Each structure stands twice: as structure tokens, then as C-alpha cells.
Amino acid sequence: MERKITLPITREIARTIKSGESCLLSGVIYTARDAAHKRLVELVEKGEKLPFDIENATIYYVGPTPAKPGSVIGSAGPTTSYRMDTYSPALIAAGETGMIGKGKRGTEVVDAMKRYGAVYFAAIGGAGALLSSCIRSAKIVCYEDLGAEAVRRLVVEDLPVVAVIDSEGNNLYEEGRMAYLNA
């Protein structure tokens, strides 16, 4: 059974989402990968304003393919999350409550998630065409020079994700595998 979640995710909502829950996200999310994260965290460290409101924001680690004429966006699946581990704790401290990517996270990220209340979702890696169909609009917010890596504001409808690591540090990658092996 999938849980429908309307964005934004507040810290309170984040704490109710449990590892292993399949969720359908609807509302506004922002895209950012390695290069954009680096710039965002530099702003945070300088105490400057970010180009979008990070409070209760969910960031999707994606670099989409270009939109064909008449399309909102191209293929848009998640990229591997550990490359953002250096930057995520600062963004979580600044207000980020949701992250969407795929793959493992470092302890520094999980510690920040537990401390502030944030959730890490995985979208299906390699399912860019399917995930694209959930994106209703896409607009570049900043860092256009980064091309596919620019920050985009997406409006999504029923974007299918799975909560992998919750705000208590429970981890589906460990627990799902154990459950399968012990079944």
C-alpha cells in the first residue's frame, strides 16, 4: 500500500515516515547534483541566501535528459546519492527535510537526518522514462551553466519513491536484505 504525501515535508511529517514505506510524492521538489550541491553549500557556509527556499525542501538528485519539443522534461531517474554525502548535512541543518536518490548514505548524513528530522527516499535507478511521466512542470531556478546539473523546480504528481532511511536511522538496504535472507 502506497502512502500519498503532499509536499512540502515538514520536520514533523518527516519523523512519521518509516523506512520501507512506499510513498507517492506530489508537489514541489528541487533538483540538484554534485556541482549544484557544492555551490549551495558554499552559500550556506558564507551565510548567504539560497536561490530557493531550503526550509522543508525536498531535493531530487537528478540530471535529466533534455526535453523534446512539447515535453516537460526528458528521462529523469535518480543518480547515486553518496556523492552528495559531503554536502547533505549542511543542507539538512539549513532546512532540507527530504532527499531523493539511490544507493547508500554515509553516517554523517544519517546523523544529521536523526538530529534534525529528515528522510531519504530512493527512486528506481534506471527508470528515468517512467519517473519522467510523473513530472508536470520543470523550470530552471539557477546554475543554468551546469546544463543537466542546473537546479530545477519540479512539480511532481504521485512520484513513486521508497523511504530507505528514516529519521531514526532505520535502513531498508540493511533490513530489506536481512528480511529476504531470513525468510
Partner 1 sequence: MREIDAKLITETVARLAVEANCLLPGDIKNRIERARTEEKWPTAQGILDKIIENYGIAERDDMPICQDTGVCCVFLRIGQDVHIAGDITEAVNEGVRRGYAEGYLRKSVVGDPLRRVNTGDNTPAMLYTELIPGDRIEITVAPKGFGSENMSRLKMLKPSDGVGGVKAFVLETVEQAGPNPCPPIVVGVGIGGTFDKAALLAKKALMRSADERSADGYYAALEDELLESINALGIGPQGFGGRTTALAVNIETMPTHIAGLPVAVNINCHVTRHKSAVI
Q: Which residues bind partner 1 (CB under 8 A)?
A: 35, 62-68, 74-77, 79-80, 82, 102-104, 122, 124-130, 132-133, 146-148, 160, 162, 172-173, 176-181, 183
Nearest partner of 43 among 115, 91, 97, judged by Cα: 91
Q: How far is the CB of 31 from partner 1 (least distance, A)?
A: 11
Contacts of 143 (CB under 8 A, 6+ apart): 35, 36, 39, 51, 149, 150, 151
The Cα–Cα gap between 47 and 55 comes to 15
Q: How far is the CB of 25 from partner 1 (least distance, A)?
A: 15
Q: Which of 19, 23, 33, 37 is catalytic?
A: 37
Nearest-5° angle of CA 129, CA 134, CA 135? 95
37 is catalytic: yes
Nearest partner of 136 among 21, 23, 29, judged by Cα: 29
The Cα–Cα gap between 52 and 118 comes to 18
Q: How far is the CB of 176 from partner 1 (least distance, A)?
A: 4
Taking the least distance from each CB to partner 1, the nearer of 42 and 53 is 42
Nearest-5° angle of CA 82, CA 83, CA 89? 75
Taking the least distance from each CB to partner 1, the nearer of 7 and 122 is 122
Q: How far is the CB of 19 from partner 1 (least distance, A)?
A: 11
> Which of the residues are catalytic?
37
